[in-house]
Amino acid sequence: MQKYADRALALGAADAVVFDIDDIVFDPRTLLKCMYGCTDWGKNHTCPSRPGNPTMEQYKDMLTRYKKGIIIHTHDKALSQKISFQIEGEAFRDGYYFAFSMSDCALCKTCAATEDAPCRFMYMARPAFHSVGIDVFKTVRKFSLPIHTLTDQDKEEQNWYSAVFID
């Protein structure tokens, strides 16, 4: 797994750490923050609010079947997604056929879901690390990675986290 963390760093990640599945903190309250704190609620194909998407319980069941993975930290949403998707592909080609990345989607300026159109990049879009019931704050703090609530988005550097589940 360290190979993938090292590769993420080479691709521009600020930090990349290997995790065991027991390091991932699940908390269904993340859905409340999605529903009542996210301006994208219901507007993206990867959003938990979209019809046909798995429930948080289903995501937890799927994700806890993995044993390991890496957490990727950047200061740019698009870079986080690009790196995690690249690592997913490399792990897949290495024989980890269930490798799966999770990151906030930054593929389109406006998601096609707002027009009731199909996803433009359905093979690349992934759900956000936090939108599936993972408490990103508690999870990344286990690794002493930087994260805090922003008081001024225009003046503070944003921390973006993605993950690649590998098995």
The pLDDT, as a whole number, for residue 149 is: 83
The pLDDT, as a whole number, for residue 90 is: 98
* pLDDT tens, residue by residue, 136-148: 999 999 999 988 8
Percent of the chain with pLDDT over 70: 96
pLDDT(86) > 90: yes
In whole angstroms, give the CA distance from residue 146 to residue 167.
27
Cβ neighbours of residue 56 closer than 8 Å, sequence gap 6 or more: 26, 28, 30, 31, 48, 132, 133
pLDDT(151) > 90: no
DSSP state of 155: T
pLDDT band for position 45 (50/70/90)?
Answer: low
Look up residue 15 and give its two tokens.
Answer: 């930090």
* pLDDT tens, residue by residue, 105-146: 777 687 667 777 777 677 777 888 888 889 999 999 999 998
Using only C-alpha atoms, what is the Rg of the chain? 15
Q: What total of structural domains would you count in the chain? A: 1
Domain with 11, as residue range(s), is 2-166
Contact 19, 77 (CB under 8 A): no
Between residues 154 and 67, which one has the greater pLDDT?
67
Q: Is residue 120 classed as helix, strand or coil in its secondary structure?
A: coil
